[in-house]
Amino acid sequence: MAATVIQGAAADFPLDQLYVHSFLHIVGITILFYDHILTFGEEISRIWASPGSGASLYFLLTRYFSFFVTITITFGNFSNSFSTVQPPSCLDYVFYRQVVLMATQILVGIMQFLRTYALYCKSKRIAALIFGVGAVLVSLSVWAVTGQQGEVSLQQGCHMASSKTSSIHIAVAWEALFTFDAMIFVLTLLKTYKERASHRLVRPSDLVSLVFRDGAIYFGVMMLAQGANVITFYVAPPALRGTLSTAASTISVTMISRLTLNLHSTAAHSEHINATTLPFSSHIISTLQFTMPYRPDEIADEEFEDKEESCSPDEDGRGCA
């Protein structure tokens, strides 16, 4: 089994720590579920309207995988059923929670990669950089979530208090996520600076501006959420180490979902724009397709597809000039 008990029995943790843990968990799931309610109508009109596309299917996979695993995590967090079984069952739940949260973050990371890859005009160098760094970080995350040690509490549901050594071990997984988010954030800012320097970003309402501005903001929020959770592993009391894991995961899903829906919405409203005045935007409209096949009418009017692209990878795959 991946997790083990130090003292072999359930322990009693300070109730105030358990209350704080539960409160922060509720904050995290509220962010996710409330955003689902706010954006469900837009999801129906923008995503379900083209259910056969690869991008739509992947968006739905990420969004609803997080939705349903969050429900199961919440059940374990508050269920009293663990009080009638042995602590190892609670530890199985703790391990399950870490695994599904990591899986959710990997799905989000793939969406971040595809967005950034498209922003850099499908640059092979950018793809190699993100894929290489991502592979190393995933390996570290898998190593980090195994071999957990700590005491479990069956009060107020199932909770685990990690030892200092174990918490640092587990923190590696979230540090890897923070590193990946920071890399995506920096790449987005660098692209923004380059395009602003070349005077390509003219109007804030342009799709390109939305991608750069909102992409940077959303990726920055995701990075901060991961960083806040990492800090808890080092400074929080034992029962509160990693207490922001659920919130960090739900914030990541919410941010990437918001960005995707905004891109779909802006693309739909860009059909009337004269493509000759927005040559760079026309390329982004045609390339920000998760690098997966869209039907032409899903992203923009067909006239955008026929225009000469001003941003295309060179022979070396370096991306835009």
pLDDT digits (tens, 9 = 90+) for 129-145: 999 999 999 999 888 87
Is the pLDDT at 128 greater than 50, yes or no?
yes
Identify the pLDDT of residue 78: 78
Residues in the chain: 321
**Global pTM?**
0.75
Domain 21-306 has CATH 1.20.1070: yes
pLDDT-derived band of residue 320, with 50, 70 and 90 as boundaries? low
Each residue of 247-274: pLDDT tens digit?
999 999 999 999 888 877 766 655 544 3
pLDDT-derived band of residue 226, with 50, 70 and 90 as boundaries? very high
Is the pLDDT at 202 greater than 80, yes or no?
no
Distance of CA 266 to the CA centre of its chain: 21
pLDDT-derived band of residue 99, with 50, 70 and 90 as boundaries? confident
Domain boundaries, the chain: 21-306
**Would you tell me how many other CB atoms lie within 10 Å of the CB of residue 230?**
21
Which of the pair, 79 or 5, is modelled with greater confidence? Answer: 79
C-alpha torsion sign, points 154, 160, 161, 165: positive
Per the prediction, the chain carries an average pLDDT of 74
Alpha helices by DSSP H, listed for 198-287, are: 207-235, 245-269, 279-287
- Comparing CA positions, the residue from 190, 183, 216, 129 lying closest to residue 320 is 190
Which of the pair, 8 or 125, is modelled with greater confidence? Answer: 125
